[in-house]
Chains A and B, each alone.
Chain A
Amino acid sequence: MRVKGHGINVVAKEIDVTFNGQVVKALEGETVAASLTAAGKLSLRQTKAGSRRGIFCGMGVCNECLVAINGQQNIRACMTTVKPGMRIEEQTYPGKLPGPDTPYLAEPPVSDPPVHKPDVLVIGGGPAGLQAAKAAAKSGCQVVVIDERPALGGQYFKQLSKTHAFDSDDSMDKQFRAGRDLIREVEGLGVKIMREAMVWGAFGPQDIAVFADGKSQVFEPKQLVVATGAYERGVPVPGWTLPGYMTTGAAQTLLRSYRVSPGKRVILGGNGPLNIQVAYELTRAGVEVVAVVEAAPKPGIGQAGNLMRMAVESPDLVRDGITYTRTLKNANVPILYDHVIIEARGEGKVETAVIARLTPNGEPIQGTQREFKVDAICVGFGFQPSADVSRPLGCRHHYDAKKGTLTIETDANCQTSVPGVFVAGDSGGMGGSRAAQEQGFIAGCAAARGAGRTLPSDVEAELARRKGKLGSHLRFQAALWDVFKAPRWMHELAREDTLVCRCEEVTLGQINQAFGTGIDTVGGIKRQTRAGMGRCQGRYCGPVMTHLQSLINGQPTEEFSFFAPRPPIKPVPIAALARKPADA
């Protein structure tokens, strides 16, 4: 459903496309995912087992939103811009063999891939990557920023798409404004920006393979800044694969960038402040939000210390939080603390959300179930850093048991164990957008130095200021997550018949059974059950299986417990990668 905005107007042309033969009105320049969601088409593909899937991550990672477009198979709706006359069809499994009139996804190259040698290559155009690019460019480096999405800004600074415009700057919230200003600044510094460009392989710090414009290209940068962000943790619950069940991040992208709501009646759940913010944004846009279901207990007297610390470190963020909760209260949207969404039900799409109250140990209490009729469920359980570039480069990581994630090891300059490779922002752990920006700037400065530049005095000054602020942001984050402290579910909310591996459709029961035969490594389980072999490359099921493995073999989880990192980082058309052997 399209929402009307406060001071935001449609400026794009309305165009016609078809979905399964039916005409759908779209706005030129939005993503296919936005057009279809606006038209209430949530089911986008059929799996091998014949079930339906739709948008889940909204950021190109999960591969659940696949559609066929003009005969081309397996196109991610969330990463593809809609064009007039597009013939969009539900993707079947397996994909059809494209007919002779289907345009090729890419032309096989006639020569070796082009090689670029910038001073600094920044992977990721979110807050961390943009700040890194800014710092390095201001220090005289030749910088290239690569991002897979059609627009810069990443998760936090994602901008309103060109389909809409603000009445005036005053209609923009500060998140939009800060993002816009930073993007403009970076663009103004002569940084080369490659949008819709994806790193598909990290073969070495000076051998980064990129897919852009239908071609593979190679980067041999002097210094590399990895700022690939994070994706939402996958917490399997019964029904989590139904169309209409998506991450809160996906819902926010639809709303903030495209003014589309995932549904008419929406419930949000999981853990952390993002769910509350997005509930607020949806409510303000006129969407009926039935509840926000928060796993953490309601902050009480015991949290006074943390709340105080947050107010000291970032008073504006605390004020925002108060605005969000007050608005929700006035709109009669309950925030149900100590609760979790335990199940999604529906025929081919979400129709009902089932929630339950939690014991202090995080177990749903029998008999406290309540059902809500909804058409969309948005969940956020925190993030998983994208280590898909840093791991193949051999950068050292460790397992953070508290967060349940693999975390990069860096020094004070954000440098990893591999010299010349820096990691900043969410891809290095989770510190929020402010810490990400400081880290990005710090990494950009260190990379500039590594590339042989001396920092100009204004950059030095900004670096000192940002280094000083980083501690404050990290203290804020620590206090924030103490307030939102909740159980870290992995497989616990799943039933035996719940899919853990969404792509290959492997249930918890099948995984448990495989462990029961004596297999005790995730690699062994992967081979036995195919869990982790799908298009998302184990990004959602991998951490759950790694956790199960540690329960079964009693070994602590470490970096090598995870699936071995192998290219391609994301699926790439073969013709783009093919290279003629020298002797052919």
Chain B
Amino acid sequence: MPTGAAPGRLPNSTDVLVVGGGIVGCSLAYWLAQEGIEVVVIDRFDLNTQASGANAGSLHAQLQSSRARQTDPKMVESNNHVVKLGTPAIRLWQQLAKTLDTDIEVVVEGGLMIAENDEDRKMIEAKVKRENALGLEAEIISGNALRTIAPYLSDQALVAEFCPIEGRVNPIVATPAIVLAAQRHGARFFRHTELLSLEKLSDGYEAKTVRGSIRCKRLVNAAGPGGGKVAAMAGINVPVAGDFLHMNVTEAVEHFVPHLVQHARRKLTLKQASNGNFLLGGGWPAGPDPKTGLPSVNRASLEQNLWMSIQVVPALRNTRLIRTWAGINISLDGMPLLGPVPGHPNFHFALVVTGYTLGPFCAQLVADKLMGRAPVMDISPYSVERFG
């Protein structure tokens, strides 16, 4: 039985302390521990409970439609940087699916973005050109070709962008599998260990938590929506916030939708999970409960997301909604925030705002940096320096 995650005592010191036990913090611990680096992960709650345990598990590579419409040059540039991350990130998931000894349900059958009118068609055509230029494989398909690969689409779907690298993973299986693998390499995880304050030392930090203090040489902020607070403890200001998002889940039906389906105009992501349930989302808002501050479900989001879903896949009308949930997502300026901080040599960021998809890959970029290796791609665009 793995014991690294069991209560136990927080050690007095470690080389790397990771704050946040979501996909980013956990996979970071995995990459580091594999190379023999001493690493401790702490989380305020259980592991994988926040965005990483409450997302839809879509493996996204193409630009979301709302982002593709952004014209502000700064946003256009950030979006381009995000597109570059998608393909290597999903390849890494495919590799993880082979190396981890649990089936983490990685399926890559491609993603479709549906256009129902001319304007939307033009949008996806321009998007495909832009993405191709950034190295992402994608193409426009329509008519019979579209019907052949996706006979489940409504007649209104005229044309679609097809992005073959897209797919899905099961986050509630994948993160724990990564944690287990990290533990096998000696990484230690401490749940219910909220960080209270950080004291800067000449050679690292002293981190005070609700379960005692721990010294570390390097500190990594992988605290997701809580990342702003953690940075502030070290005297660094970053505009991190949390967004509450809605998800619908249907009963299981036989498999008939292999793709990740999105819409060129409206909020929708739709896919069928391995066990046959459909996960329907796409960024519909959920509210924090005014009393508890916890995520709570919003009726309008629930209803409108379902409407969108049956517009695109009419056969879903005859299935039932069995569950919903509201999860917290991280909101920043649209780009991950990665790597060291000027003036704070022992503080590193690993905040991935653009999805579970990018978690392990971004963590790998940060891990390389921590190990003094050149990351596989230049991470300077994702640095905190962009906030000035």
Contacts and interface: CB of A to CB of B under 8 A. Distances in A.
Interface in A515-541: 516-521, 523-524, 527-528, 530, 533-535, 537
A584 interface: yes
B46 A523 contact: yes
Contact of A580 (B7, B180, B307, B321): B307
B296 to A, nearest CB: 8
B316 A574 contact: yes
B172 interface: yes
Given A95-B253, A96-B253, A520-B46, A577 B291 contact: no
A537 B302 CA distance: 18
Nearest to A102: B318
Contacts of A581: 266, 304, 307-308
B300 interface: yes
A48 interface: yes
Interface string A540-570: 0000000000000000000000001011100
Interface string A310-321: 000000000000
Contacts of A584: 266, 307
B294 interface: yes
Given A574-B306, A579-B304, A568 B324 contact: yes
Nearest to B317: A575
A270 interface: no
Interface in B211-270: 250-256, 266
B289 interface: yes
Contact of A97 (B47, B254, B303, B320): B254
Nearest to A218: B299
B315 interface: yes
A568 B321 contact: yes
Contacts of B46: 519-521, 523-524
Contact of B324 (A105, A108, A566, A579): A566
Contacts of A104: 317-318
B1 to A, nearest CB: 5
Interface stretch (A201-209, A248-256, A429-437): A201-209
Interface residues of B, number: 56
B253 A566 contact: no
A524 B291 CA distance: 23
A575 B303 contact: no
A383 to B, nearest CB: 24
A584 B256 CA distance: 27
B53 interface: yes
Interface string A187-206: 00000000000000101000
Interface in B42-67: 45-49, 53
Interface in A86-121: 93-98, 102, 104-106, 108
B306 A577 contact: yes
A581 B299 CA distance: 12
Interface string A244-273: 000000000000000000000000000000
Contacts of B251: 73-74, 94-95, 535, 571
Interface of A: 48, 72-74, 93-98, 102, 104-106, 108, 201, 203, 207, 209, 216, 394, 513, 516-521, 523-524, 527-528, 530, 533-535, 537, 564, 566-568, 571-575, 577-581, 584
9 contacts: A216-B303, A518-B189, A524-B47, A537-B323, A567-B297, A567-B302, A568-B322, A577-B303, A579-B304
